[in-house]
Amino acid sequence: MNIDRKTAFPSALRTNLERAYHPHKALGQLFEDVQIQNILSDNKQIVDGVPSNAPFIIAEIYRCCKNNPGFNIKRFTQAYIQAPTGSADSERGAIEGGNKDGLIAHLHQHWHKLLRKASDTKSPWTSLVGLPHPYIVPGGRFREMFYWDSYFTMVGLIASQEVSIALGMLRNFRYLIDSYGFIPNGNRSYFQSRSQPPFYFAMLLLCKPYLAEEEWLSYFSSLEKEYSFWMDQHLQLPRAGYRGSHLVTSLQLPFANRYNGTCSAPRPEAYGKEWRWASNVASEAKPSFYRNLQAVCESGWDFSSRWFSDGKSKQTMDIDKIAPVDLNALLYGVESLLVEMATCLGEFDKAKQYQQRALSRRATLNEHFWDHKKGCYQDIYFDSGLPTGRLTLAMCYPLFTNAATSEYAANIAEWLERKFLKAGGLVTTCQTSSEQWDAPNGWPPLQYVAVVGLRNYGYNKLATVIAKRWNDMVERQYHKDGRLLEKYNVMRPTSPASEGDYPTQDGFGWTNGVTLAFHALLSGD
């Protein structure tokens, strides 16, 4: 399905998209050649780098010179594109020797190594979108504020009593919603074709104790805007058979949501490798293939057998046909918070509307997303209403947002203990593959979602076991080489994680946040 950008994006977003610097457009053939020929060590370097002159001038110089004898494209690129700051090497240098201190003391101190200043971006030729308040970046090659990463980072900031930074990040996200009509994947121009799992409501709940009631309620309008983005701007639900950008309806489902990508080309920050991945895809199928790649990136699980119909290959991605259980559980959380905030504001008609949506979505989660044969939550195909059959930690999300029944929560706790719990915590899926969001890897956000979800339903003992195994593994790695990683091999904690799409990164924002939150839980703080 081709997405009409004029209907897919609000007018404010179109304006910002048009005036932003987009390296893949501005640098023309130079960009394509660098990415496709794999000239630089990381696909993200050219899109994060800053041109030393107007991009159209660099592109024209390249066009005139590229066929000259002895021309070297790598030297040319390095001469005209300033390497991005905050590289993987500098992040690694920031944590080397950290094992001289205890892990928790180091984590409390490390936030300021990952802190970036508020900025309107001095150069007009940067893909970085300026933000009004300081923010934490994940680390390594990730030099910007990512959406769903930031919730788990903020959890740690609160544990470190860095409340002002957490509140600043919350305000940055409101700024992004007000600017674009939704929260992009990250504050880069090339991330504006997609969002990420909607944790903005959870950020609001996290920050509520630190905000005056009037200010907290002022976030209602931005939460509504984000919800409208996920509901394709529909005030009333369309008839059965609607297939929108993120909203779908069918005879089986009153309504549900899916992840989506809006561009029919490779992602700029992964252009070369996605171009190569598509080499065996038929020409007429490539636009759909690229949109599916972006949809998987919007899910945050890039990449996983969760999205492959054969469980093995990216060429069989079917995410465009799937209603994911995590997304729909999170949107139940959004709807529930909208009810609370609308009621406090005296917007009783809106509160009633959102209450109806929340009740309907909760019923859908517990009727259609529940696999009665296996006894767990699963992603479903929205046309047939059938489960995909791919068992993943996404089954924990209805517990995280309190959408599960007590009976179903008991089943999930049993599944986690029996199938997912490993030496270092919870494994992401039951499928071992070369993809990073599969076994043997475990990821900080999913540990946190599971632990909070279990505690919501009284399974504190199992939650404590998961948190302790995770923190013990993180601490062992830290004392071994002073590193905090974005993901770990939870099945064999002394072995490296499966790298997947890119090498495992040091830093690392959400690892730091979840480890600090678990430390507080285990300490009884």
Coil, helix or strand for 258?
Answer: coil
Q: Which residues contact 153 (CB under 8 A, 6 or more apart)?
A: 136, 138, 169, 509, 510, 512, 513
- State residue 103's pLDDT score: 96
Residue reference for tokens 């780098």: 49
For position 121, what pLDDT does the model report? Answer: 65
For residue 156, being part of any structural domain is answered with: no
Residue 443 lies in a domain: yes
Average pLDDT, the chain: 93
Distance, CA of 1 to CA of 128 (rounded, Å): 30
**Distance of alpha carbon 272 from alpha carbon 270, whole angstroms:** 6
Q: Which residue type does 216 have?
A: W
pLDDT tops 90 at residue 251: no
Rounded CA separation 332/357 (Å): 8
Q: What is the pLDDT of residues 400-428, one digit of tens each?
A: 999 999 999 999 999 999 999 999 999 99
As a whole number of Å, the end-to-end CA separation of the chain is 50
CA dist 300 and 306 (Å) reads: 12
| Angle ∠(391,503,416) on CA atoms, nearest 5 | 25
| Residue 210 belongs to a domain | no
Q: Which of 260-274, 308-322, 494-508 has the lowest average pLDDT?
A: 494-508
Q: Which residue has the higher pLDDT, 390 or 124?
A: 390
**How many independent structural domains does the chain possess?**
1
Residue 330 pLDDT greater than 60, yes or no: yes
Is residue 253 pLDDT above 80, yes or no?
yes
Lookup result for tokens 């904690």: 493
**Active-site entry in 48, 435, 486, 506:** 486
Q: Which two tokens stand for residue 246?
A: 């993120």
Q: What is the mean pLDDT of residues 105-110?
A: 96
- Answer yes or no: is 452 within a domain: yes
Distances (CA, A) of 362 to 191, 198, 254, 355, 372: 31, 17, 11, 10, 16
Q: Is the dihedral of CA 36, 42, 48, 54 positive or negative?
A: negative
How do residues 185-232 score in pLDDT, each as one tens digit? Answer: 999 999 999 999 999 999 999 999 999 999 999 999 999 999 999 999
pLDDT band for position 3 (cuts 50, 70, 90)? very low
> Among residues 224, 298, 302, 371, which one is catalytic?
302
CA distances from 205 to 155, 167, 175, 333, 401 (A): 11, 12, 18, 10, 12
Please determine, for residue 31, whether its predicted confidence score (pLDDT) is greater than 50.
yes
Nearest to 109 by CA among 64, 160, 167: 160
* Cβ contact 326:397 at 8 Å: yes
Assess if residue 199 is contained within a domain. no
pLDDT given at position 158: 98
Is residue 439 included in any domain, yes or no?
Answer: yes
Residue 475: Cβ-neighbour burial (10 angstroms; 0-12, 13-18, 19+): middle
Average pLDDT over residues 277-288: 96
Structure tokens at 502: 């890119």
**Strand pairing partners for 257?**
247
* Contact in structure between 369 and 403 (CB atoms under 8 Å): no
Q: Which is nearest to 333 in space by CA: 234, 217, 415, 449? A: 449
Backbone angles phi, psi at 282, to 5 degrees: -60, 145
Residue 72 within a domain: no
- Judge whether 486 counts as a catalytic residue: yes
302 is catalytic: yes
Global confidence as pTM: 0.94
Fill in the DSSP letter of residue 496. P
Q: What is the pLDDT of residue 6?
A: 40
pLDDT of residue 503: 85
Please list the residues that pair with 245 across neighbouring strands: none
Parent domain of 523: 391-525
> Position 203: which residue type?
M
Query: What distance in Å separates the CA atoms of residue 329 and residue 62, rounded to the nearest whole number?
Result: 49
Residue 451, Cβ density class (10 Å: 0-12 exposed, 13-18 middle, ≥19 buried): buried
Given a cut of 70, whether residue 86 has pLDDT beyond it is no
Is 399:456 a contact under the CB 8 Å cutoff?
yes
In a domain, 237, yes or no: no
For residue range 452-510, list pLDDT tens digits in order.
Answer: 999 999 999 999 999 999 999 999 999 999 999 999 999 999 999 988 878 889 999 99
Which candidate, 223, 228, 183, 221, places its Cα nearest to that of 205? 223
Structure tokens belonging to residue 379: 């992603």
Spatial separation of the C-alpha atoms in residues 305 and 45, rounded to whole Å: 28
